[in-house]
Amino acid sequence: DAGITQSPRHKVTETGTPVTLRCHQTENHRYMYWYRQDPGHGLRLIHYSYGVKDTDKGEVSDGYSVSRSKTEDFLLTLESATSSQTSVYFCAITGTSGYNEQFFGPGTRLTVL
């Protein structure tokens, strides 16, 4: 898992509640990403970070925010969860090869009721 952990691994919440997912890496990688995985859509990029306090939007960023105050942690926040945000969320980092090799964490399954 390239030294990537995600927490929680499973979460059930109710519509309208805030939710924060955490991604932690141990290898000091610069680039970190949040993707969501839904059937038939593969994985879609939500937000990514290219350094501490440097983040940018991805393909499906509406309803999500991120923060990166330390190199090792990248947080994804759903300010007010909706049922359409029920998904599996994956964090990824880019390796050190110089190419865009991305390595994924184990995922967080989020259910919004």
Partner 1 sequence: QQQVKQSPQSLIVQKGGISIINCAYENTAFDYFPWYQQFPGKGPALLIAIRPDVSEKKEGRFTISFNKSAKQFSLHIMDSQPGDSATYFCAASMGNAGNMLTFGGGTRLMVKP
Binding-site ranges for partner 1 (CB under 8 A): 1, 30-31, 33, 40-45, 48, 50, 58-59, 90, 94, 98-107
Q: Which of 15, 31 has the CB closer to partner 1?
A: 31
Q: Which of 15, 91 has the CB closer to partner 1?
A: 91
CB of 22 to partner 1, least distance (A): 15
In degrees rounded to 5, what are phi and psi of residue 28?
60, 35
Q: CA-to-CA distance for 5 and 7, rounded, in angstroms? A: 7
Q: How many CB atoms lie within 10 A of CB 56?
A: 11
CB of 91 to partner 1, least distance (A): 8
In degrees rounded to 5, what are phi and psi of residue 93?
-130, 160
CB of 45 to partner 1, least distance (A): 4
DSSP for residue 82: -
Question: Is 84:20 a contact under the CB 8 Å cutoff?
Answer: no
Question: Is 81:112 a contact under the CB 8 Å cutoff?
Answer: yes
CB of 16 to partner 1, least distance (A): 28
Q: Which of 8, 50 has the CB closer to partner 1?
A: 50
